[in-house]
Every structure is written in C-alpha cells, then in structure tokens.
Homo-oligomer: A and B are copies of this chain.
Amino acid sequence: MNIGEIAQRAGVSRSTVSYALSGKRPVSEDTRQKIQRVIDELGYQPNASARALANGRTNTIGLVFPPAGNHYTGMQLDFIGSVVEAAAAYDYDVLLSPSGVDSDRSFQRLLGERRVDGAILMEIRLQDDRIDHLTEVGFPSVAIGRTAQPEGSWWVGLDHTALASACVHHLADLGHRRVAFVNRPEQLLRAGYESAQRGLDGFTKAAAERGLTVRTYCCGDDAASGLACLERILRDDPATTALVTLNEAALGGLYRGLAQAGRHVPLDFSVTGVVASRWAETVTPQLTAADVPAEEMGRLAVDLLVQRLDHPGTPARYHLLAPPISLRASTGPAGTPALP
C-alpha cells in the first residue's frame, strides 16, 4: 500500500495526501479528515526509502564504534544505550557501524551510500583519520572523545588529563608515595587512543608534581590480564601501595591479584581510577573513582548532532566534562608498608 492508493480511496491527488501529512501547505479540514480516515483504516505508513530519496534525509544517525576483538567494555554499552534512547526522542533511528579506521568498508558505506544524515563516533584517537576525513568533507558528525586538535570539530569529551590527575592527588593526599598506573592495552595506547594517552599524561605530570615514585603498565581488557598485571606490579616494586586504573574490564582481575597477594583494600592497598559508576559499584570494596558519565555523554552527543543537522553552518560546539571523584571504599591512608 502506498500514497497513491490512499489518494485514490480518499478521492484526492497524491500531492494532497502528502501535504495533508506533512502540513507544508494548507489542506481543508474536510479532506484532511477524509484522508486520515483512510489512513487509519488501512494502517498506512509512508515508505522510509522513498521519503529519504525524495527529500535527501534518512532520519537516521550512524553510531560508529570499534569492532569487537578489543572486547567491549561496560562504558561502550552505556554509550550505545544512551545514544539510541536520545536519538529516539528526536525521532531518529540509529545505525551501527563497526569501524575502527577511516578505510573500513562499513564506514565508507555509511557515508558514501548516504545511509545516515550524520554520525557519532566513539573511541577516538588523538590523530583520527575518520574525523579528519569527516571534517574535510563537511559531513555532520560528533565525536565522543577529543582529538589532539579538536578545534573546528564537534565533540563531547572527558577531561582525562584532569581525571587521572585528580586520582593522583587523591592518593598523594592520603600519603601514598609509590603508585602504579594501569592503562588500557598497549596496542590501544600505541594507536593513540585519547583516554589512554591523556590519562597517562595526566597521571605522569601529577605524579611528578607530587614527587611520587611511579610505574605505568598496559593491561589487556579482561580479568586474566588484570591479575597478571597486578602480579607484575608487586614483583616490580613490592612497596607499591596504590594504583590508578583506566581499565574497567581488568578491575576484577586487579582485585583478585591483590587478594591473592594478601593485600587488603583499602587497609594496605588503595585502588582508584576512571570507571563508569555501575562497574565501580559491583566490586568489593566499591571503587573510589572518577565516574564516567556515559549516559550523559551519549545524550549530549545526540543533542549536538541534532542541532548541527537542524542548523547547518552553526559554528562548532563541544562539551568537556570533568566529573569529580566519588568517594567509595577502595582508598585509604597509606600505612607503613613492609619494605622488602
């Protein structure tokens, strides 16, 4: 069933039906009702492809996220959920595209085949060819994350430098002097992932400021890697009394490692980091951490994108968030650890 059939049954032309539905030209109350009755009776809904072809808008936004392999973290789930929800509120659908780099076929299709009106990108790298490309061709997009030169592009970001720094200061204030840093996997750090790079940066600078002795580690995104990483930390420097982690997925493993090493959190070892609150609350003791406001970020990204779509030519906008550290139960004053 199509608009022609509706028009026939209502005894009007196709264009009148179209105008009655869109309201872009006045239609008399009589005919409007006649048309509406037919539509209700037949349960007519206009074909999305035809509409998209005619007016050049798909009413769909693309959500570009990295393919698995690097396993999904809880944060990514929260992003996806909130983006979909926020988009639905604006009557936009969300098309998922698993693409890490500009050259991915799925990414090329998204743009080239005009499947979406705009895109939201996740897992940003400091040098990100996807964003360079989109900015170059002027394709409406918003990044969840911030590149090295974010000027002129639209984004919603977390101040990872400040967050990692806040963790260091929190630990230093508690008297910790020897602190380890558990980053995302080495491959991501090398690829230039923003959170991994800026987080490391913030940690290192703040530690230097406070004169701490630190070691930094990369760690796979799973519990087993977390366990292995913690063993290395205590082997490399048994006097370590605290750690900061950006690695949500390794958290369970880190805790397990501490338990196995006979360290009690927070009595003789403190743990903190940057983690979504949902996950910080599942471990025991609950993690004192800078809570990643994933839901808010997803919503803000959609807000920005819709704004950009509705008002082309608006100068670039962004949101830089720096949530405070939520004090829970995983950090405490440094004791006097037994030196080897």
Contacts and interface: CB of A to CB of B under 8 A. Distances in A.
Contact of A47 (B48, B113, B222): B113
Nearest to A110: B93
A8 interface: no
Contact of A60 (B95, B252, B283): B95
B84 A96 contact: yes
Interface stretch (A14-22, A64-72, A177-185, A187-195): A64-72
B77 A224 contact: no
Interface residues of A, number: 57
A204 interface: no
Nearest to A67: B85
A96 B93 contact: yes
A297 to B, nearest CB: 14
Contacts of A94: 95-96
A114 interface: yes
Given A85-B98, A113-B47, A252 B281 contact: yes
A205 interface: no
A89 to B, nearest CB: 10
Interface stretch (A49-57, A152-160, A164-172, A316-324): A49-57
Nearest to A282: B252
Interface stretch (A141-149, A206-214, A253-261, A330-338): A253-261
A249 B115 CA distance: 35
Given A45-B108, A48-B115, A77-B76, A82 B95 contact: no
A186 to B, nearest CB: 21
A37 interface: no
A245 interface: no
A125 B60 CA distance: 28
Contacts of A223: 281-282, 286
Contacts of A80: 77, 80, 96
Contacts of A43: 112
A4 interface: no
A251 B48 contact: no
B47 A50 contact: no
Contacts of A106: 88, 93
15 contacts: A48-B113, A48-B114, A50-B53, A51-B113, A63-B96, A68-B82, A93-B109, A93-B110, A93-B115, A94-B96, A96-B96, A222-B278, A252-B284, A255-B284, A259-B284
Q: What are the 10 tightest A-B residue pairs by CB atom distance, in nearest-first order? A: A252-B282, A45-B112, A49-B52, A48-B113, A77-B77, A256-B284, A49-B53, A223-B282, A223-B281, A94-B96
Interface of A: 43, 45-53, 58, 60, 63, 67-68, 71-72, 74, 76-78, 80-82, 84-85, 88, 93-98, 106, 108-110, 112-115, 222-224, 249, 251-253, 255-256, 259, 278, 281-284, 286
